[in-house]
Structure formats: C-alpha cells, structure tokens
Structure 1
Amino acid sequence: MSYRSRDRVPVGVSGEVGRGTVGTAAPAGRLSPLVRASAVGYLILGVIVGAVAFSLAPWGLLLLVFAFVAVLVAFFLHLMAEGLATIEEDAS
C-alpha cells in the first residue's frame, strides 16, 4: 500500500468529501420495508398453498413442500429485513 508523505494516509483515502473518499454517502432509500413486505407476501403465499394442499388431499399434500419452502423464505427475508433495519438506523 502506498502512502502520501507527511500524513501516512493511504493514497485515494482522505477526509474531504469529493476527493477520493470511500463510503461517505448513505444510500438514499430504505430497503428494509421492501424486504419486510416481501416476507409478508411469501408468508401469505405459503398459507394459501398450504390450504390448497389440504383441500386437494391426498395428492395435493405434495404441495406442502412448496408451502414449507415459501414459509422458510419468508422467515429468512424477515431476518434479513431486521438486519437491514439495524444497518440503516446506524448513524455512523
């Protein structure tokens, strides 16, 4: 890593905005509400597919696999939304 003389700051990194700084601007929008809405959508999809699977029993029970996958995706999206909300609330 090369350094400028005098201040021992890596080249390309400075404290001034617009002069090679990295990561100074926060993202404009918030992503966590969108991910949270997707999680709710997948949860609703899983419940609907589960209801259809039980109504079409016994062969419709194979649809339970898709219902469980949809609920699992909803769970992971919820976790991701919580993590994004934590990152977005961070002031630094």
Structure 2
Amino acid sequence: SSGGKECTAQNDGTFTRTSPSATVNVGQVITFACKPYLYHVGGDLQRACSYTGQLLGAAPVCGATPKPVDVRLDRVRRRLQTLAKNLAFVIDYDGYR
C-alpha cells in the first residue's frame, strides 16, 4: 500500500510536464519536456514518485544552448571543406531524425 502518498510536478518556466496529470501515486512516473527552442542539458525528463511522496531524480534543466557532445573523429567521414578545423555539427532533435 502506498499509504495515500502522492507526488506533484512543479514547472520552473523552462520545462513543462508532458504527463496527463500533475499529481501521481507512488510508483507512477511523471514526464517532462523542455519548452520550444530550449535544450535538455541536465536533470531527468522522467521522474518516478517514491514512497516518501517525493519525485526521484533531479528536476530537468533546460538551456538555450545544447550540451556539448564529444564526437569520435575516427567515425566521422572526413570532408576537407567541412572538417578543415576538425569540427563537426551533430543535429539531434526529434523533428530532424
């Protein structure tokens, strides 16, 4: 028995709840997404409700610039005109895939 404990999601202005309800019972999960034009740079986009009535994990952190990702250059096809400075841009968002 959960003892009637519930968890409630809070928004901070940079992310929104994508789950149907802001309040869930113990063991259920609340999901979040960054607001448009912001990138997920830390925290958790899925958080479960613990038996203490607190959401597990850390609140999502969304920022104006994406989190840098190391790319293994040995796996990138070298094109002199685009990799002259050994830089590569990785575009990774749902609408691009």
The answer to which structure has the higher helix fraction is 1
Of Structure 1 and Structure 2, the greater strand share is in: 2
TM-score by length of structure 2 reads 0.23
Give the number of the structure whose alpha-carbon radius of gyration is greater: 1
